[in-house]
Structure 1
Amino acid sequence: MGCLKTSVNRMKRRLSPFTRQLRLLAEIMSITTRLKEWASNNVPLVFSILRFIQPNVIYKNNAVITRFKDVQEALSRPNELGVTYAEKMRIITDGKNFFLGMDDIPDYTRDVSNMRLVARRDDLEKIVNPMTEKMARVIMEKSSGRIELVSELTSVVPSQFTAEYLGVSGLEPKTLFDWTCNLFQYLFYPDCPKEVEDAAIRDAAGLRAHIDELIKQRKQQPEKDDVLGRCLKLQESGTPGMTDIDIRNNLIGIIIGLVPTTSKCVIQVLDYLLDRPELYKQAQRAAHLDDMHTLQQFVLETLRFTPFGAGLLRTANCDYTIAKGTWRAKKIKKGSQVFVATQSAMMDGRDVSSPKSFKLDRPRHIYMHFGYGMHTCFGQYINLIQIPNILKAILKCEHVQRAAGKEGQVTYRQPYPISLTVTHEVMTRPAVKTKQESKEAEPSKVA
């Protein structure tokens, strides 16, 4: 019996260093998990610390860029720090890349130029502004004092706009919203869950088939002056890069970037303003004056505090030194994944004055919600009309309040708001103004 006890004690002594190591490892893993959780819940603070002590972080084959100047540098080097979307875009289109997934190559210039010819800047005032303003206003006028904003407004207007302006009609708003949310998440989020990836691949097939059929039908119908109709006219003229497949792929890319972004931005801006009554009143005054410029500034500045995303991913196509010639210079090795933190850049006090203050007079160049450089969002000017117009329709209602309980709080599914219910009174009609008042309240031109 004594021998057995001695053997057990010897075994314990042998195991104790190993046991202590296991316990230490478990404690480290627990601390690491807690640190990751803390960091994910305190992103602005983490970025603030990094900007000060280590603006450009290199860890294994990953890099994080946090300062304003360095972020703009990274996004201005499309061939050295290229986009990461090409492979997934080919899956979405079942073969070809879309200009969003291209580096600075001839096909990129050709495709973007073609789409600029059909989605024109001068459409903003003549078509986009009145169209989206009316769509949002009609929905709010028909609401009965209570509205679930995502399903009834913020996803519906961009879906209607996709049908009327882009010419991609025939899909229910909920279907288009669900499809594009899955596709956007699959394309832009590296940690996209497997179920979303599977849904995105399925939805891409549905969207391809729908637009292919639509193109066939439109060729048999009278001409219509929408983006699809203009694409078909370019095709008839023999313009390179305007085959049926090219047209379909370009439309898919634009729609993915249009629908979910618009809905999410409206909800996040409104959610922020509802928690800040003084800012809400200022925004409401701008809405009643149809002051588009001020509403745009509200959108841009609010999204600086509650951004659509924390940044953009790039991949190093070659060895590249960021911030070369400065103390913060770092060599990014070829093949590294680079996270370009636009959220952090817009809070960098070295280039953004009083970054923690809410200011409506900031210059537009400090905002990077739509990216920066060659791959700045193709639809940024449309979004800067559509988002404020949807917001304006809400702000023109009186006594907008969150619904009671959970319904009055934003509910998310993955990265997207899917629900926010508010109560309100019927939209107010503009009062009769004197000539002087009308002159003072004259709507500002859209950007």
Structure 2
Amino acid sequence: MGKYLNMIDAAPAADKWPMVRELMMRERQPFFAEMQSERPVLQLPDDMVFITRYVDCTLVLNRWNDFGVDLYKPKQGDYFMAQDDTADHWRDKSIMKSILDFEDLPAMRKFVGERAASLLREGQGAIDAPQSLTRAVPVSLVQEFFGFQGSNPKKLIDWSYWNQQDAFHNQPFDRDVTPDPDHIVAERKRANIHLAFYIGRVLLKRVLQVKFGGDRQDSVSRLVRLSFSKGVKFPLKKVLFNAGGLLIGAVETTSHAVNNALAELLSRPDVLERAKAAAASPDPKDFDGFVFEALRFNPAFPYFFRTCHTPTTLGGGTPHAVEVKPGTTVIACTHAAMFDEAGYTDPPAFDSRRGLYQTFTLGYGHHECLGRAVASVMVPEIVRQVLLLPDIRQEGPIVYQGGVPEHYALRWAA
């Protein structure tokens, strides 16, 4: 048995999952390789299972009736992303995808590039990326394209932050790294009260504009017109709820992904030079693969969690097969899955040709990120603007707080 499994097996029960999480972050590739070959289904205390193979991760994330998002419901209530195969999920996600028009992507990318470049010019050679760039740019996009014009950026960031903290970093299995879970819940509830009042005021304005012939094309206005049409079951309460979801999903996740991609590229001198050359190409899409591949190595979400509903065999076809029972929390380590030879050719190699769809960066299956199309242009464009700076460098590693990038000092020749 390998050294990692020896360490895990010898650890006290309460230390096993924290140890696995630390190994996943600090010694990722050798740890993943050992797990996939020797124990692809690792049973942990407190009815937890940790899986690393590509085939098992895709099985769990594809079979939503067998593995559900139960743990999101206490955090997100009736929001469709906290549901699996329900009428609300079916309808609401379809509506939200339809109002995020693909046709808007070139304009969004242009806007993001200009906004990022402006903020970087203001930095005059130095910037703390999370504080002054990677949250500020998606907030600006939310204001411009989603219908939040005239809002306070700091409040939008605050509302997104606490919702993301509670949903993704304040689960029962996070208790060893979350010093005050109740505080996070209280902050999320406070944020949502303020967010609901704010969106209520936005809706009042949009309702009047729509009724009196306004032709605004932001996301909230589209939702109001759809609600008024009575063509589908989508009352104004749904508009309010889902408009809030647009904000919550756009800011903190974008910031996390941008910082992680930058840190990975800036730590690879040979790749960095090729990425810089691609960033200067007339077609920015030549560059995007560098960002998506960087996120394969350094994802914002190294795992997704699901609750087992149906007895299911994982690790099938190996001597380590395990039947997972209902109620078990399954940690699908998609970070490991992206280095499984069963799913990837030469996984240790940095290959910018792989593209976004060969990763789990924006989720997978039924609960793939709603904003996939927007993120696919916004994240690489922010990174691209940074790499266009002369002599760009990092002044130390990302400082994470609460599981997300809070400080990351960048310098360049002004």
Which of 54, 57, 64 pairs up with 1:78?
Answer: 64
Give the AA of the match of 1:65: I
Q: 1:170 deviation in Å?
A: 3.6
How far has the Cα of 1:236 moved from its partner? 1.8
Cα distance between partner residues in 2 of 1:37 and 1:115: 37
Tell me the equivalent position of 2:163.
183
1:29 shift after superposition = 9.6
| 1:374-419 superposed Cα distances (whole Å, 9 cap, x missing partner) | 111111111110011111111111112334xxxx442221111111
User: 1:342 corresponds to which letter in structure 2?
Assistant: T
CA distance, structure 1, for counterparts of residue 257 and residue 21 of structure 2: 21
User: Which range moved further: 262-271 or 217-226?
Assistant: 217-226
- 1:156 maps onto 2:143 in alignment: no
- 1:291 and 1:42 map into 2 onto residues whose CA distance is 39
Q: 2:208 aligns with which of 201, 214, 220?
A: 220
In the other structure, the counterpart of 1:301 is: 293
- Using the size of structure 2 for normalisation, the TM-score is 0.87
Q: Say which of 118, 121, 124 aligns to 2:105.
A: 124
CA distance 1:328–1:291, change in 2 (3 Å): farther
Instruction: State how far apart, in whole Å, the 2-side matches of 1:410 and 1:290 are.
Output: 30
Q: Quote how far apart the aligned CAs of 1:228 are.
A: 0.6
One-letter code aligned to 2:76: M
- How far apart are residue 367 of structure 1 and its match? 0.4
- Verify: 1:47 aligned to 2:32, yes or no: yes
Within the alignment, does 1:288 sit opposite 2:275 as a pair? no
Within 5 Å, give how 1:171-320 maps onto structure 2: 171-189=151-169, 190=171, 191=174, 193-221=181-209, 222-320=214-312
CA displacement at 1:302 relative to structure 2: 0.8
Match of 1:104 among 69, 79, 85: 85
- SS across alignment from 2:102: coil
Deviations 1:195-248 (A, max 9, x none): 222211111111111111110122223331111111111112113232221011
What aligned pairs does 1:387-406 form with structure 2 within 5 A after superposition? 387-403=379-395
The 1-side partners of 2:44 and 2:16 are apart by 16
Q: Which residue identity lines up with residue 69 of structure 1 in the other structure?
A: V
Q: Structure 1 residues 322, 416: CA separation in 2 closer, same or farther (over 3 Å shift)?
A: same
Cα pair distance change 1:328/1:122, threshold 3 Å: farther
Q: Normalising by the residue count of structure 1, what TM-score does the alignment of the two structures yield?
A: 0.81
Provide the C-alpha distance between the structure 2 equivalents of 1:150 and 1:160, rounded to a whole number of angstroms: 14
What does residue 19 of structure 1 align with? none
Question: 2:383 matched to 1:382?
Answer: no
Structure 2 residue identity aligned to 1:54? R
CA contact (8 A) 1:81 1:315 kept: yes
- Deviations 1:272-314, CA, capped at 9 Å, x for gaps: 2222222222111111114433332111111111111221111
Question: Cα deviation per residue 1:179-206 (whole Å; 9 max; x = unaligned)?
Answer: 2122112012312532222211111111
Residue 313 of structure 2: SS of its match in structure 1? Answer: strand
Question: Which stretch of structure 1 is more off in the superposition, 329-338 or 140-149?
Answer: 140-149
The alpha-carbon distance between structure 1 residues 37 and 342, as it changes in their structure 2 partners (threshold 3 A), is closer
Name the CA distance, whole Å, in 1 between partners of 2:65 and 2:284: 36
Matches within 5 A, 1:363-378: 364-378=356-370
Q: Name the residue aligned to 1:421.
A: 409
Taking the TM superposition and a 5 Å limit, the aligned residue runs for 1:313-332 are 313-322=305-314, 324=316, 327-332=319-324
Which of 29, 45, 48 is 1:62 aligned to? 48
Q: Which whole-Å deviations, capped at 9, do the CAs of 1:67-109 have from their partners, x for residues lacking one?
A: 001111111101111112123211xxxxxx1221111222212
Q: Is the 1:146–1:421 Cα contact (8 Å) retained in structure 2? A: yes
Tell me if 1:88 matches 2:75. yes
1:149 Cα deviation from its structure 2 partner: 1.7
Q: CA RMSD in A?
A: 2.3
In structure 2, distance between residues paired with 1:30 and 1:340 = 22
For residues 401 and 291 of structure 2, what CA distance do their matches in structure 1 show? 22
Question: Given that residues 58 and 332 in structure 1 are in contact (C-alpha distance below 8 angstroms), is that contact kept between their aligned partners in structure 2?
Answer: no
Count of residue pairs brought into register by the alignment: 388
Separation of aligned partners in 2, 1:151 and 1:288: 26
Percent of aligned pairs with the same amino acid? 27
The structure whose Rg is larger is 1
Q: Given that residues 168 and 214 in structure 1 are in contact (C-alpha distance below 8 angstroms), is that contact kept between their aligned partners in structure 2?
A: yes
**Aligned position for 1:444:** none
Instruction: Determine the C-alpha separation between the residues in 1 that align with 2:274 and 2:129.
Output: 21
For the structure 1 residues 335 and 409, does the alpha-carbon distance in structure 2 shift closer, same or farther, using more than 3 Å as the test? closer
Kept after mapping to 2: 8 A contact 1:235/1:242? yes
Whether the 8 Å CA contact 2:338–2:347 is kept in 1: the answer is yes
CA distance in 2, matches of 1:174, 1:390: 19
Q: Is the 8 A contact 1:212 1:244 kept in 2?
A: no
The structural deviation recorded for 1:59 is 4.1
Matches of 1:173 and 1:299 in 2, distance apart?
A: 26
